[in-house]
Structure 1
Amino acid sequence: MTAESVKHRVQWPVPPQDGYTVDDLFTLPDLPRHTELIDGSLVFVSPQRYFRYAMIHLLAHGLRSTLPPDLKVVCEMTVVLDRRNGPEPDISVIRAEALTDRRQTHFKAADVLLAVEVVSPDSEARDRDYKPHKYAAAGIPHYWLVDMAGQDDHPVVQVYERGEATGTYALTGIHHDHVKVSVPYDIDIDLAAIDQY
């Protein structure tokens, strides 16, 4: 090993015996952007596909177009679910009063009405399995899972709603061309508009 290779080594933090907490997530120095905390483990984001970028912008714009004044749309902000879980949904619809400061770095699960995840190759299992389970357990009433389908890689949005009796999500619709729903508010998004981003 040369002095040059030692000089460029990354010093990764050593996890505590019981795993990290959300306090650690917000105070550990030099974490890469968009680091998430899942079950006490830090999760780093790998390079993303253009599809993810375009869908986040398309959906955020569409969600804002009919947004009631008591709600806000935020992208890639940490949502604290509990002491050991601080995921970062691609998009969240939050209560406007939850935004208290422009330096704010996170929101509480109780302030989130909708969490949206756009599937990436490195996050597929988390987006399909872990995160929906955790979002539902934390009481977030709505969840959207966005993926590509078909030979043309067109967007597909799966819409889920949390059942109060079960505390789990149930699929309420699969949208290929248009997302038109009435909860958590009236939303109408043309998915074909992805080509504009």
Structure 2
Amino acid sequence: MTVTLNVPPRPLTVHDVTALAEADELHCFELTEGNLVVIPPRTLGHQHSASRLGVWLMNHGFPGRTGLFVGLKTTDDDLNGRVPDVAVTKGYVPGETVWIPAENVLLAAEIVSAGSERTDRWFKPLEYAAAGIEHFWRVEPDGTVLRFRLVDGAYAEIGKDPLDALLAGEVPDLD
């Protein structure tokens, strides 16, 4: 299947990406320095892990504050936006909000899968840390959840658990 996108001949903004996403529901789009990043549909396993983590967070103290695959502005300009697999906001964000400012995000979580390894392990944590997001979790392909907290502008690992074990307990302190 071929999808033709009408991409403007300039650095893109999160508003442009929103319009592209409305025209092409098969892909997820992110933005880095005005450059479009096209992400193929997530696998069923990827979606399953994100859903389990998101539902667990919703049921354990973060209802109305947990979202799956939401837009996240990682800078003050409109040239950078990521889509974490799971995000927890610091408070209520209206449902029609497409791009949540990073200062409103408490936790960003990424599920590592084929094709996203470097981005999820290296680039996104650097962006999220620079944006001041306090917590970053990464779910590895083997089901290990690495939990990080922002310390002096960089993430420090604070925990490592199998996903099933993490979901069997209470949510580690996020506030």
TM normalised by structure 2 equals: 0.84
- Specify the alignment match of 2:174 in structure 1: 184
Seen in structure 2, the aligned counterparts of structure 1 residues 15 and 134 have a Cα distance that, compared at 3 Å, is: farther
Establish whether residue 157 from structure 1 lines up as the match of residue 145 from structure 2. yes
Question: Structure 1: any 5+ residue segments left out of the alignment?
Answer: 1-7, 150-154, 186-197
TM normalised by structure 1 equals: 0.75
- Specify the alignment match of 1:53 in structure 2: 47
Within the candidate set 117, 122, 126, 1:124 is matched to: 117
Instruction: Output the CA distance in 2 between the equivalents of 1:74 and 1:23.
Output: 20
1:22-101 mapped onto 2 (5 Å cutoff): 22-28=14-20, 30-32=23-25, 33-68=27-62, 72-82=65-75, 83=77, 84-97=79-92, 99-100=93-94
Instruction: Output the CA distance in 2 between the equivalents of 1:123 and 1:68.
Output: 27
- Asked if the contact 2:113–2:141 (Cα under 8 Å) also holds between the matched residues in 1, the reply is no
CA-atom RMSD in angstroms:
2.2
Of structures 1 and 2, the larger Rg is shown by 1
- Asked if the contact 1:46–1:122 (Cα under 8 Å) also holds between the matched residues in 2, the reply is no
User: How far is the alpha carbon of 1:15 from its aligned partner?
Assistant: 4.2
Within the candidate set 157, 165, 168, 1:171 is matched to: 157
Deviations 1:3-45 (Å, cap 9, x if unpaired)? Answer: xxxxx672552541xx322233234572554211123211111
- Counting aligned pairs with the same residue, the percent is 30
Deviations 1:64-105 (Å, cap 9, x if unpaired)? Answer: 121156x610111101111221000000000233x13x3221
Question: Structure 2: any 5+ residue segments left out of the alignment?
Answer: none
Seen in structure 2, the aligned counterparts of structure 1 residues 23 and 50 have a Cα distance that, compared at 3 Å, is: closer
